[in-house]
Each structure stands twice: as structure tokens, then as C-alpha cells.
Amino acid sequence: MMVDRLDAPIEHLLRELAPQVLSPVVRRFRDFGAAEDAVQEALIAAAAQWPRDGVPANPRGWLIQVASRRMADHIRSEIARRRREEAAAEEAERLALPVEEATESGEDDMLVLLFMCCHPALTPASAIALTLRAVGGLTTAEIANAFLVPEATMAQRISRAKQSIKESGVPFHLPTAEDRAQRLRAVLHVLYLIFNEGYVSSAGPQLRRADLSDEAIRLARIVYSRQPEDTEVAGLLALMLLTDARRAARTGPNGELIPLAQQNRALWDRQQIAEGIALLSTALPKGSVGPYQLQAAIAAVHDEAARNEDTDWPQILALYELLQRMSDNPMIVLNHAIAVAMVHGPEKGLELLRALDSDPRLAKGHRLEAVRAHLLERAGDHEAAILHYRNAAIHATSLPERNYLMLQAAKLSEMRSTDS
């Protein structure tokens, strides 16, 4: 559906309202999948009419009414199909009654939606798509564009996600106290995945592309506002801010990758860094330190260094040692090896990498090779470094990474030929 570039304030308003409309409609009609469809139709209607007729005095009420009417139509046609005409007429009348806007449930609807969309029964791809739609208020086209897949494909992912929810019988309530912690972890994980996906190349000219990193931060803020006491929620938000702060310095004019050590720190966003550090300062003292807080703390140590050479590597090393106890994620092991190298010398780091050679999760990738090459370079073994940079380049999964690794090999190669 081609829509002229939508008025920005209206677009923002619709995104904000989307989850606030979905919740009462779901509560009223008890069919999450159909409610989500009805709300989508209401949003599309608003996007078409409001720029022309003006935003209504009660935009949320307007959307709830339109969505409810769509739901009533949907149910009416279902009933007509079952041919119970009298009951159908009665049902239709009952359903046409206006939905009470203040369908107070005593629960936080935003959180309920988030928990539902991030339910462990869903695949990560489904959860990401559904969260961006139902909670983020993005259109299917915008989500498709962000993930560089056709709209029809993304529509199917969302449809299948809703089907999974229906089949798993997830109720529209907050999880029980015993499930809460695990379900919250699932939500945080989905938001983390969305944030990571946020690093995408330039998009097409027509559709407004939602910046996934910004969206992840926005959703994390929402969770934080609802659960300010949860330190891992604060940790994730801090991690996102402290990482996103470096965005402007990450790519060069030709789209090339600029690693942390070489970034122009004047381009880092100081406000985001300050906010991230403030979040950590309130969370860490509470004592229930988790992996997101630790990763955020590491990011904070990097972000606090005025120059690359001022980086407090011993502190980073200590943090990675703590982090390794909580997680066996091979990326953490790799980064720990780098920290060891920075504090105790490259040979010590290389020793740790040898232990990873047998890890199947790293075997076929380029990361282990890239880190090894980097440490060999630092150790002065340029011949070996060149070999491993080139091997890493061959296995790189993105062009900027491949180009960067090939360039590193080329630089070292040049140095060797001028020396000899």
C-alpha cells in the first residue's frame, strides 16, 4: 500500500497509540490475533483520514471505536457463516455497543503486550516482528524494510507469530510471579536482538525506515519505566545507550568499518553516555548484578576514556572475568581474550584463543580468526597475522567486515615489503 509520506506528528501519534488501543480491544473481544488485525485496519484508516480531516479530539477513542467496529464486522461475518441468524442479530447489536475506554484491568497493558509478543513459544524472528508491530506500532512495510525482506514475507511472520500465540493459549495477563523473571528475560532478549539488528545499510527512498536501534531503546525505556527496580532492565537500557552513543563514529565516508580503537571520540554522543552511566550508577549498587549490567559497565569504561590509550583495560578485564562466570557465550570469551592481551600482553591472549579452537560455535566463523590476527599483529608476528586476517576476510559475513580485514592484511603486507 503506497501512502504519501505521512505527516510526522500524526505518524508518531499513531505509533504511540497503537499499543494503547490494542490492549482494550483484546480485553474486550479476547482474540489477540483478530484484535491486532482490527487495530491495524484502524491505524490505516487514521493514516488516510486524519491528514485530510484533522486529528480527532480524542484520537485514542476514535481508534478504539473503529477497531471495535471492525471486530464486530469480523465476528458478525463469522456468525453469519454459521447461519445462526437470530443469535447473530442479537450478537451484532450487543457488539456494536461502544467499548468503555477505561477498561481498567489493574494490569499494565503495555507490559502484558510485551510479555505476550516475546513469549518463549515464538521463534526470535517471530517475536521481533510481532513486538515491533503490536508494541512498537510500526507498519508491516516498515518492519519489512528494516529487515530487507518483502512486505508479504514479513506479514507472514507476523501472522505465524499470532498463530503460535493462539495455539499456545497465552492469556492476556501478566505472567505469574514464578514465571515473571524468565519471561522478563525473554523480553529483554528480544529487545537486545532488535537493537543489534539496528545497524543496517541505507534503505529505499519511499518507505520511512524505522531505525531499529532507536526503536529498541524506546521500547527498553518503556520497560524501564514500568520496572524501574529491575537492575537488568536498567542494565540493558544502559548498554543500548552506551553502545548507540558511538554510532556516528562507527562508519567512515565510504561505509567502511571503524573499530573502537580508531574511532573519533569527538563524534560520540556525550548525553547518551551520561544517561547510560547514570543508569548504571543506580543499578549496580543494588547488588543483583547480571550480564546486561556487566556488558553496560564494560561499555561505560570504554566510553569514559577520553582517548583510546586512556582505556582502563584492567577494569575491563575484571568485568569480563565476572561476565564469563555468568555466561558461556563465545563472544564474551573472545572479548575476554582481547582484554587479557591488553593487560598481560598478546601472547597471553593468544593462549586463551587456542582453547577456543575446538569450540564448534566459533569454528566456522570469522571472529576467532579476526581476533587471532589482531593479537598476532600486536605480538609482532606479521606473517601469521596476514594469513589469519585473510582467512577471516574469506569467512566474513558482511562486506564492510571483509573489506576491513582485507585492508588490515594489505597494510601489514605493505609494511613487510618495505622492510625487506
| Site residues (vs other proteins, CB under 8 A) | 123, 125-126, 147-150, 152-154, 156-157, 160, 196, 199-201, 243, 246, 250-251, 254-260, 263, 390, 393-403, 406-407, 409-411, 413-414
Q: Is 325 buried (19+), middle (13-18) or exposed (0-12) by CB count in 10 A?
A: exposed
Least CB distance from residue 297 to other proteins, whole Å? Answer: 16
Least CB distance from residue 153 to other proteins, whole Å? Answer: 5
Least CB distance from residue 350 to other proteins, whole Å? Answer: 22
**CA geometry: angle at 65 spanning 61 and 68, to 5°?**
135
Residue whose entry in the numeric block shows the C-alpha cell 556487566: 294
Least CB distance from residue 407 to other proteins, whole Å? Answer: 5
Least CB distance from residue 383 to other proteins, whole Å? Answer: 14
Least CB distance from residue 188 to other proteins, whole Å? Answer: 17
- Measuring CA to CA, how many Å separate 322 from each of 44, 202, 287? 49, 37, 13
- If the CB atoms of residues 110 and 373 are measured against other proteins, the closer one turns out to be 373
- If the CB atoms of residues 92 and 155 are measured against other proteins, the closer one turns out to be 155
DSSP assignment of 195-251 equals HHHT------SSSPPP-HHHHHHHHHHHHHHH-TT-HHHHHHHHHHHHHHTTHHHHB
Q: Which of 184, 291, 316, 307 is nearest to 239 (CA)?
A: 291
Q: Report the C-alpha gap between 365 and 369 in whole angstroms.
A: 8
Instruction: For residue 83, give the C-alpha cell.
Output: 447461519
- If the CB atoms of residues 79 and 146 are measured against other proteins, the closer one turns out to be 146
- If the CB atoms of residues 149 and 318 are measured against other proteins, the closer one turns out to be 149
Terminal Cα-to-Cα distance of the chain (whole angstroms):
63
Three-state helix/strand/coil letters over 147-180:
HCCCHHHHHHHHHHHHHHHHHHCCCCCCCCHHHH
Least CB distance from residue 192 to other proteins, whole Å? Answer: 11
- If the CB atoms of residues 14 and 240 are measured against other proteins, the closer one turns out to be 240
- If the CB atoms of residues 147 and 313 are measured against other proteins, the closer one turns out to be 147
Least CB distance from residue 77 to other proteins, whole Å? Answer: 24
Q: Is 203 buried (19+), middle (13-18) or exposed (0-12) by CB count in 10 A?
A: middle
Residue whose entry in the numeric block shows the C-alpha cell 506528528: 9
- If the CB atoms of residues 379 and 406 are measured against other proteins, the closer one turns out to be 406
Q: Which of 390, 415, 385, 383 is nearest to 405 (CA)?
A: 390
- If the CB atoms of residues 55 and 257 are measured against other proteins, the closer one turns out to be 257
Least CB distance from residue 234 to other proteins, whole Å? Answer: 19
Instruction: For residue 102, give the C-alpha cell.
Output: 477505561
- If the CB atoms of residues 48 and 257 are measured against other proteins, the closer one turns out to be 257
